[in-house]
């Protein structure tokens, strides 16, 4: 266990559904991240939050909407996704820059 917990572990959703992924850490880390892992792009950075503020949006489509209500929780809200969005979504956190990032176990998302 790394101390970063993601729920749900698996999610199947239709293209018209709305769902949310949750990430939680109680490590006292100040930075949290969403990565997308697929066969084409193994670890693609999506969003970065520092001290609850979004500091990076890596040209992610608006059908993905992140939310960071406090320094321990990070959400990824999903709506009107496409089948090509099927992937493993990994959350990570770390204390500050130039330190180890701790990953959650990921949410395996399938869009049908």
Q: Which residues bind another protein (CB under 8 A)?
A: 2, 31, 33, 35, 41-45, 48, 50, 55-56, 90, 96-98, 100-101, 103-106
Taking the C-alpha atoms of 73, 31, 33 and 71 in order, what is their torsion angle to the nearest 10 degrees?
10
CB of 91 to another protein, least distance (A): 10
CB of 98 to another protein, least distance (A): 4
Q: Which residues pair with 44 in a beta bridge?
A: 36
- Read off the tokens for 22: 């949750």
* Rounded least distance, CB 17 to another protein, Å: 26
For another protein, give the closer residue by CB, 16 or 59. Answer: 59
Residue (18 or 96) nearer to another protein, CB: 96
Q: Least CB distance from residue 70 to another protein, whole Å?
A: 18
- Facing residues of 49 across strands? 32, 54
Q: Which is nearer to another protein, 78 or 106 (CB)?
A: 106
Tell me how far apart the alpha carbons of residues 68 and 53 are, in angstroms, rounded to a whole number: 8
Q: State CA 86 to chain mean position distance.
A: 13
Q: Is residue 52 within 8 Å of 68, Cβ to Cβ? A: yes
């Amino acid at each position: 266990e790394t101390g970063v917990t993601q729920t749900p572990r698996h999610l199947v959703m239709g293209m018209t559904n709305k769902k949310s992924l949750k990430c939680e850490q109680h490590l006292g880390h100040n930075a949290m991240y969403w990565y997308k892992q697929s066969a084409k792009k193994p670890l693609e950075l999506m969003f970065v939050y520092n001290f609850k503020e979004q500091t990076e949006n890596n040209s992610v489509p608006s059908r993905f909407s992140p939310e960071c209500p406090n320094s321990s929780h990070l959400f990824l809200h999903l709506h009107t996704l496409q089948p090509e969005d099927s992937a493993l979504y990994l959350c990570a956190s770390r204390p500050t820059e130039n330190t180890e990032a701790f990953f959650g176990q990921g949410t395996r998302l399938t869009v049908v």
